[in-house]
Amino acid sequence: MRYLIMSSNEVVKKLSKLREKRGYLLPHHGLMAISSPELLEAYDSTYTNLTLKKRYMSEYQKEIVWLVILISTGESIATHHLDRLSKCGGSKIDVNNATTLAAWADGSKRFNFVNDNWGKHLKNFNGIDLYRSGLNDITQNFKIEKWLIEISLAACHQCHRRWFWVREHIIGAYKENVDENTLAEALSLAMFPGGVPNFVDACDIWRALIKEKTVSASEPYKLWAKMSKQNGFEDKVKGL
């Protein structure tokens, strides 16, 4: 028979403290508090450093990225981000814009389909150019910086393993003179809703772009890209 690791009073105290800190509670918080309080502590520390603490983006910019990610991944429970957007000066217009970006990203595979399967039958057809042209049309009146659109879409595509478009928007972010730490922040925000393995793969795509000199990276990022043996346990696998 297994017993609770914490007493009832301890569980209530811990969850009350967490609610006070964040302004809300989600079901998995209580489960971790009861079953694995050390995991809850580590999770809360990770989440705090990931999104609550100030890194490189302003609160408004960060919430734009969050909304594009959350709308695309269907995270209906994350309504606290609407509250955060409101508190940092955002409005319904920003929600409309984030919805438009997420919807456009969801349709990106149609450009790949026509380009890959019918392109040879269509004179001068270019899926990337058509995607870019349409994106420019729908965002030309947005009050959002172009670099912020690029990193939001890179993070959004990361969640769905649309690697072709992750690559395209990392390149686009560099063209818009994005701060590399800000791009890194945006991709990291997608870790929870999109999964850590997808974040790992997106980082590897970014590394490849630097190594092949498709993007002009700063020295710290060049050193990261050049570091060898970043393929996990792959070299040691013996097979079964």
Each residue's pLDDT tens digit, 112-170:
999 999 999 999 999 999 999 999 999 999 999 999 999 999 999 999 999 999 999 99
CA angle (107, 113, 114) in 5-degree steps: 105
Mark residue 74 as left, alpha or beta (left: phi above 0; alpha: psi -120 to 50; beta: remaining). Answer: left
Residue 6 pLDDT more than 70? no
Give the max Cα distance, the chain: 71
d(Cα 170, Cα 217) in Å, to the nearest integer?
11
**What is the identity of the amino acid at 174?**
Y
Structure tokens at 239: 């097979």
Query: In this structure, what token pair is assigned to residue 187?
Result: 């991709």
Give how far the C-alpha of residue 82 lies from the chain's centroid of Cα atoms, to the nearest Å. Answer: 17
Residues 6+ apart with CB under 8 A from 207: 224, 225, 230
pLDDT band at 1 (very low <50, low <70, confident <90, very high): very low
Q: Is the pLDDT of residue 229 over 90?
A: no
Q: Would you say 180 and 221 are in contact if contact means Cβ atoms under 8 Å apart? A: yes
Q: What is the DSSP string of 116-139?
A: HHTGGGSTT--HHHHHHHHHHHHH
Residue 122 tokens read as: 């269509």
- The C-alpha angle with vertex 181 and arms to 50 and 188, in degrees rounded to 5, equals 35
Cα–Cα distances (Å) from 92 to 64, 83, 86, 96, 145, in that order, read 12, 11, 9, 6, 17
pLDDT above 90 covers a percentage of the chain that reads 73
195 token code pair:
């999964």
> Cα–Cα distance between 208 and 16 in angstroms, integer?
45
Output DSSP code: residue 237. -
Summarize pLDDT for 54-110 with one digit per residue, the tens: 999 999 999 999 999 999 999 999 999 999 999 999 999 999 999 999 999 999 999
Which amino acid is located at 163 in the chain?
W
Hey, what are 155's tokens? 């993070």
d(CA 153, CA 147): 10
pLDDT bracket for residue 231 (50, 70, 90): confident
Residue 5's pLDDT is: 59
Q: What is the pLDDT of residue 11?
A: 79
